[in-house]
């Protein structure tokens, strides 16, 4: 056990100044590489810094500048594959730019919970917030909240007022559905995500658009909860129906569960029914049958979010990203009718 009480004070900017024979302000200038510093002076200071193993105190800096060099992540996801992958992208991009990252997981999406979370991050003096709250309700709460801080919202409704960012879910879902149509299927049903989720709505819209355009009948979508367990349940239920030959499922987890349900009920994939998922989780390429799905680059989404956020913070021109492209990955689970 180290004696914390006798721990020597960390060297401060003034200690460095003394050793280098300059004023503390000069040291500060070197640290923030200010223009007017003689190279010779700079060298002396850097030397002293190295000798003392000095490192600036971020709290002190945050206090005086009211900036923390910290970004907040507000996540309201139960551990979905997509958002989690995006978070990794956010963290990496932020660290690269010299920002640290404080993450806050939300279990409920009530206005109070979201409000508290935002307040908490504000107290931590984060300079900006990336919101991963893919629920419609959360989106509206945020919209009505007028967050007094730069913030970016991931995977939310496109075309909205605030700065948002997402892969083109509608187009991806449309491509997936068109793929099934191209295989000769005309009776295609959809297992959607929870009603409250924006992505669920977008994917459903893409599905409906594709069917409408091809003049095919649409079916009332089945509402799931993203879990494989629900997919299994749906598979067992659907096995009683014989009015469809293909299913477009709003995410891979449910799709994998669905195939399991079908299997247990004696429905063969893809011989009897074709299945297409969404997200391209790592095991999608290996389940039996391998799952056709829509791939999207979640980490890239996170990286873009950081770039937009930092531009906002620094008052620079905010880069315009087109919607991120999705890619259809055709595998065994979808076959000609």
Partner DNA sequence: AGTGACGATGTGACCGTGCACATACAAGGA
Partner DNA sequence: TCCTTGTATGTGCACGGTCACATCGTCACT
In sequence order, the 6+-apart residues with CB closer than 8 A to the CB of 67 are 61, 125, 127
By CB under 8 A, name the one of 41, 120, 218, 330 that touches a copy of itself: 120
- Residues of this chain, 37-66, that bind DNA according to CB under 7 A: 37-38, 40-41, 54-57, 60-61, 63-65
CB of 26 to DNA, least distance (A): 3
Radius of gyration of the chain (CA): 26
Which of 141/281 has CB closer to a copy of itself? 281
Alpha-carbon distance 138 to 145, whole Å?
Answer: 10
290 binds a copy of itself (CB under 8 A): yes
Q: Which stretch binds DNA (CB under 7 A): 8-16, 125-133, 196-204, 315-323?
A: 8-16
25 binds, among a copy of itself, DNA, none (CB under 5 to 8 A by kind): DNA
Q: Does residue 94 have a cis bond before it (omega within 30 degrees)? A: no
Q: Does 294 bind a copy of itself (CB under 8 A)?
A: no
Q: Does residue 120 touch DNA according to CB under 7 A?
A: no
Given a contact cutoff of 8 angstroms between Cβ atoms, the answer to whether 169 and 199 are in contact is yes
- 240 makes contact, choosing from a copy of itself, DNA, none, with CB < 5 to 8 Å by partner type, with none
The count of chain residues that interact with DNA, using the rule CB under 7 A, is 31
Q: Which two tokens stand for residue 259?
A: 């195939």
53-90 burial, b if ≥16 CB within 10 A, otherwise e? ebebeeeebbeeeeebbbbbbbbbbeebbbbebbbebb
Neighbours of 271 (CB within 10 A): 9
3-state helix, strand, coil in the chain (%, to 5): 45, 15, 40
Residue 288 interacting with a copy of itself (CB under 8 A): yes
Spatial distance between the Cα atoms of 200 and 105, rounded to a whole number of angstroms: 21
- DSSP-assigned letters across all residues of 141-174: HHHTT--SS-EEEES--TT-SS-EE-B-HHHHHH
Cα within 13 Å of Cα(8), Cβ side: 6
CB closer to DNA, 22 vs 308: 22
Closer residue to DNA (CB): 15 or 229:
15
Q: From the list a copy of itself, DNA, none, which binds 37 (C-beta under 5 to 8 Å, kind-based)?
A: DNA
Site string for a copy of itself, 6-35 (x = CB under 8 A): -x----------------------------
Cα torsion angle, 136, 138, 141, 144, sign: negative
Minimum Å gap between C-beta 66 and DNA is 7
Q: Which residue has the tokens 């309700």?
A: 137
Which of 14, 34, 119, 268 contacts a copy of itself by CB under 8 A? 119
Residues 149-178, mask of contacts with a copy of itself (x by CB under 8 A) = ------------------------------
The binding site for DNA (CB under 7 A) comprises: 9-10, 12-14, 21-26, 28-29, 31-32, 34-38, 40-41, 54-57, 60-61, 63-65
The binding site for a copy of itself (CB under 8 A) comprises: 2, 7, 55-60, 62-63, 68, 70, 79, 84-85, 88, 91-92, 95, 100-105, 107, 119-120, 122-125, 148, 227-229, 231-232, 253, 256-257, 259-260, 263, 281-283, 285-288, 290
């Amino acid at each position: 056990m180290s004696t914390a009480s006798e721990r020597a004070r960390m060297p401060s900017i003034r200690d460095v100044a003394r050793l280098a024979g300059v004023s503390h302000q000069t040291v500060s200038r070197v640290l923030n590489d200010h223009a007017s510093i003689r190279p010779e002076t700079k060298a002396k200071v850097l030397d002293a810094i190295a000798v003392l193993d000095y490192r600036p105190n971020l709290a002190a800096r945050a206090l005086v500048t009211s900036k923390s060099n910290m970004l907040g992540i507000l996540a309201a996801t139960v551990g979905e594959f997509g958002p989690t992958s995006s978070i990794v992208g956010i963290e990496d991009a932020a660290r690269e730019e010299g920002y640290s990252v404080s993450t806050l997981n939300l279990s409920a999406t009530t206005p109070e919970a979201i409000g508290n979370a935002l307040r908490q991050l504000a107290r931590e003096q984060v300079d900006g917030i990336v919101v991963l709250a893919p629920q419609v309700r959360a989106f509206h709460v945020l919209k009505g909240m007028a967050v007094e801080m730069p913030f970016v919202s991931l995977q939310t409704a496109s075309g909205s007022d605030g700065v948002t960012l997402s892969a083109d879910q509608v187009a991806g879902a449309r491509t997936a559905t068109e793929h099934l149509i191209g295989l000769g299927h005309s009776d295609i049903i959809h297992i959607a995500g929870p009603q409250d989720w924006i992505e669920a709505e977008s994917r459903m819209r893409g599905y409906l658009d594709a069917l409408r355009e091809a003049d095919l009948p649409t079916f009332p979508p089945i509402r799931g909860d993203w879990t494989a367990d629900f997919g299994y349940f749906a598979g067992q239920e659907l096995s009683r129906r014989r009015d469809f030959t293909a299913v477009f499922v709003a995410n891979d987890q449910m799709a994998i569960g669905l195939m399991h349900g079908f299997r247990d009920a004696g429905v063969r994939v893809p011989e009897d029914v074709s299945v297409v998922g969404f997200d391209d989780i790592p095991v999608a390429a290996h389940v039996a049958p391998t799952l056709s799905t829509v791939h999207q680059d979640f980490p890239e989404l996170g990286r873009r979010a950081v770039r937009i956020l930092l531009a906002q913070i620094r008052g620079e021109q905010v880069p315009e990203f087109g919607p991120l492209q999705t890619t259809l990955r055709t595998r065994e689970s979808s076959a000609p009718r």
